[in-house]
Amino acid sequence: MANVLVNAPKTAKRGAIVEIKALILHPMETGFRPGTNGQIIPRNIVERFTATWNDAEIFSMDMSPAISANPFVSFFAVAAESGTIRLRWTGDQGFAVEEQVAIAVE
Amino acid sequence: MDRRRFLGQAAAIVVLPFGPPFGPASATPQAMAEAIKKVVGDSAVTEGRVRLDMPPLIENGNTVPLVVSIESPMTVADHVKAIHVFNEKNPQPNVFSVRLSARNGKATVGTRIKLGDSQKIVAIAETSDGKFWSASADVIVTLAACLEEST
């Protein structure tokens, strides 16, 4: 799935604080809205977003239906060592997407 | 059936569909207070240290940018453990919760949220010493997050 946009620096100085921004294509259907046929559209949201840096968790977020469609998250992390930042979204209806970016720390 | 009974029944038929409220039940300030209590327990919540950046006037409630930042050195000894955001008038009081650690370096989180009405948003941060800090923002929403499927 290429429906993910991740913005993180490719290189960073050791100990620097880097910003990581992530955007994913997702309808974030709240489960409170009636559709055109009058029936409530079943809830379909991303429930959880986690980020790991070389498999150590650095950030996690529990979302609710109040998060906008195509959820955007930005957060910071200390560049401790080179490696991969892995971002994972999971949610309703078996939704699971993983994306990784490499970062070189010098 | 006499005329009076007929009118009464006719009125009942007309009125009934509007009786039970349609659409989603909405969270109330009390529901928000309960949701906050579930997170903080009996601890006191002090106002301060938290900054909640949102536009005060929102044209479109479907995507409202929101940034929460907390003054904190973010060291192992003193850092922000979690940030929780609540609202008063969306169908549910919770917006999101994030877990942070000293690995974050900076206690700042940005996202975009939906707002169903003009209301108060509250952000609560839990620091590593177990204290709770909060900030709130009153926002005016001119176009609420849409309630019907777009066609």
pLDDT of amino acid B40: 87
Q: Is B92 on the interface with A (CB under 8 A)?
A: yes
Q: How distant is the Cα of B78 from the closest Cα of chain A, in angstroms? A: 15
Q: Is B23 on the interface with A (CB under 8 A)?
A: yes
Angle (nearest 5°) at CA A67 between B119 and B27 = 40
- ipTM value > 0.95: no
Q: Which two tokens stand for residue B41?
A: 């327990």
Average pLDDT value over all residues in chain B: 83
CATH number for A4-31+40-105: choose from 3.40.50.720, 2.60.40.10, 1.20.140.10, 3.40.50.920.
2.60.40.10
Q: Is B99 on the interface with A (CB under 8 A)?
A: yes
**Do the chains contact at B91 and A63, CB–CB below 8 Å?**
no
Q: Which residues of A touch B115 (CB under 8 A)?
A: 66
The residues spanned by each domain of chain B are 25-141
- Yes or no: domain B25-141 corresponds to CATH 3.10.20.740: no
Buried b (16+ CB within 10 A) or exposed e, B4-14: eeeeeeeeeee
Strand ranges in A13-92 using DSSP code E only, listed in sequence order: 17-24, 46-53, 56-63, 72-78, 83-91
Interface test with B, best of A63, A68, A103 (most B CBs within 10 A): A68
Cβ-Cβ contacts under 8 Å between A and B: the total is 109
State yes or no: pLDDT of B23 exceeds 50. Answer: no
Looking only at the bridges linking them, the beta strands covering A11-12 and A95-105 are parallel
State yes or no: pLDDT of B139 exceeds 60. Answer: yes
Percent of chain B's residues with pLDDT above 90:
45
Give the Cα separation of A10 and B104 in Å (integer): 17
Q: Which residues of A touch B146 (CB under 8 A)?
A: 33
Torsion of CA B101, B69, A63, A36, to 10 degrees: -170
The residues spanned by each domain of chain A are 4-31+40-105
**Do the chains contact at B149 and A77, CB–CB below 8 Å?**
no
A20-49 residue pLDDT tens: 999 999 989 888 888 888 888 899 999 999
B9-24 mean pLDDT: 49
B61-93 residue pLDDT tens: 899 999 999 999 999 999 999 999 999 988 889
State yes or no: pLDDT of B16 exceeds 60. Answer: no
pLDDT of amino acid A35: 84
Q: What is the pTM of this model?
A: 0.82
